[in-house]
Amino acid sequence: MYIADYVIRLSLLFRACDRLREYITQLFSDRRTEWDRNPKLSDSVCNLDYLTRIRVSKIFDDQSKWQRLAQQLDCDHMIELIAICSAGDDSSPTMILLDQFEQLDDSSISRLREAMNRMEEEEGVKLIDSRYVY
């Protein structure tokens, strides 16, 4: 093969990379635009990262504070199910509560934060504030 062939192939490769870069940029731009248009989407509990969920669980699993959190979130109906699901193994009742709360139409990170604030759980509120920008 001649050098000219390599140059042509390299040129085609660079063009393909540029098109891929443009596509990825557009893809993420569309996602950001969707979040900007729908502020409720960005406040969704599903946007609460896993590490924060684990840290919140460590706080609320202690002394069964998760039950009071469930009450503050108007999720009293979940308490018995969560207690049964988490009994006898290493499952975190708070993690289960957060997973179930996320399924509700009116769930939000700000509502979770407000519930923690009403409980005067400053450590939980600080965790939410440090991980989520309103």
Residue 78 tokens read as 């979940």
Specify the pLDDT at position 74.
95
Specify the pLDDT at position 1.
59
The gap between the terminal CA atoms of the chain, to the nearest Å, is 58
Highest mean predicted confidence (pLDDT) among 69-73, 88-92, 130-134: 69-73
Domain map (residue ranges) of the chain: 3-37, 45-131
Report residue 29's pLDDT band, with 50, 70 and 90 as the boundaries. Answer: low
Residue 14 tokens read as 């660079």
Segment among 11-25, 47-61, 63-77, 117-131 with least mean pLDDT? 11-25
Tokens 């490769």, residue located: 13
What letter would DSSP give residue 72?
Answer: H
**Is 45-131 a domain of CATH 1.10.533?**
yes
Checking if the pLDDT of 65 tops 90, the result is yes
Specify the pLDDT at position 7.
72
Specify the pLDDT at position 134.
43
Report residue 27's pLDDT band, with 50, 70 and 90 as the boundaries. Answer: low
| Cα dist from 109 to 10, 78, 85, 104, whole Å | 48, 18, 24, 12
Residue 131 tokens read as 């991980």
What letter would DSSP give residue 90?
Answer: S
